[in-house]
Amino acid sequence: MKISFCLAVVLCSISVIVAPPVQEFNFIQDQLLVISKNVTLKAQDCENVLSDYNLVKRNYLETINNMKSFKVIPSYSIFTPYSWKQHVPKVQSLFDKAYSYYIKLYKSKAKEYTVPTLNEENATFADYISHISTLDEFSVNVLEKARELKDLRKVYITESPRVSTGPRDIRNELEKTFDKMGASPKREYLNLPLVNVDPARDSKLEAEIQEMFDQPAAYDSNDGYDFSF
């Protein structure tokens, strides 16, 4: 009887000693399960944000892909000076170069994103906390980029880059060529748009530019051309 009592006391003591670590382990496991679920929900939110961004990006790139290079070389008339016929191909090559430059620049704004992942095997509480912070930062960055693309799309289809504001090397070469041609008034040529940002809207714009390089003598400097779209 005395032995049984002693054994019971020993077992009770062991239970008291072991119980706290077991309870602590279970608590940690429960917390890891909760935060793991939070990470899953946060990752799904990021997937939704990314899906919305990809739609914005697709619309943005469609707008860029619809842009065209101006064809400035006209079907020359008998009134077109030879000096103009000689230099207009150079102008065309520079317009094409400007188009390639801007299309590449505009497309570079559309970034590729992938939702960050976490290897949950043996992930610690600190790992989960860090990953949640990473997902939050990802979401903020993608939302900001989506707003940027929306704003840029509006700007790009309403404001074509001009000769006077184009890349320095292209601008300088065009100015030199205009000088050789005796283009007048020069300011009108420097104000020419370099890229046809909305061909559907500005269907007559290319023809007007061609006219400037076709019959310069017939160009009325008092009326000019309206390139202020």
Residues in the chain: 229
Centroid of chain to Cα 80: 43
- pTM confidence score: 0.77
User: Is 17 a domain residue?
Assistant: no
- Split into its structural domains, the chain has a count of 1
From the number of C-beta atoms within 10 Å of its C-beta (0-12, 13-18, 19+), residue 27 rates as exposed
CA angle 6, 9, 13 (to 5 degrees): 140
User: Is 21 a domain residue?
Assistant: no
Of the candidates 145, 142, 133, 147, which has an alpha carbon nearest to the alpha carbon of residue 114?
A: 142
Helix (H, G, I), strand (E, B) or coil at 141: helix
Write out residues in the chain with pLDDT < 50, as ranges. 1-18, 25, 27, 218-229
User: Is 13 a domain residue?
Assistant: no
Which tens digits make up the pLDDT trace of 77-135? 656 677 777 888 999 999 999 999 999 999 999 999 999 998 877 888 888 889 999 99
Q: Which domain holds residue 95?
A: 27-218
In whole angstroms, what is the distance from residue 32 CA to residue 40 CA?
12
User: Is 143 a domain residue?
Assistant: yes
User: Is 6 a domain residue?
Assistant: no
In whole angstroms, what is the distance from residue 16 CA to residue 10 CA?
10
Q: What is the pLDDT of residue 26?
A: 54
Q: What is the pLDDT of residue 35?
A: 67
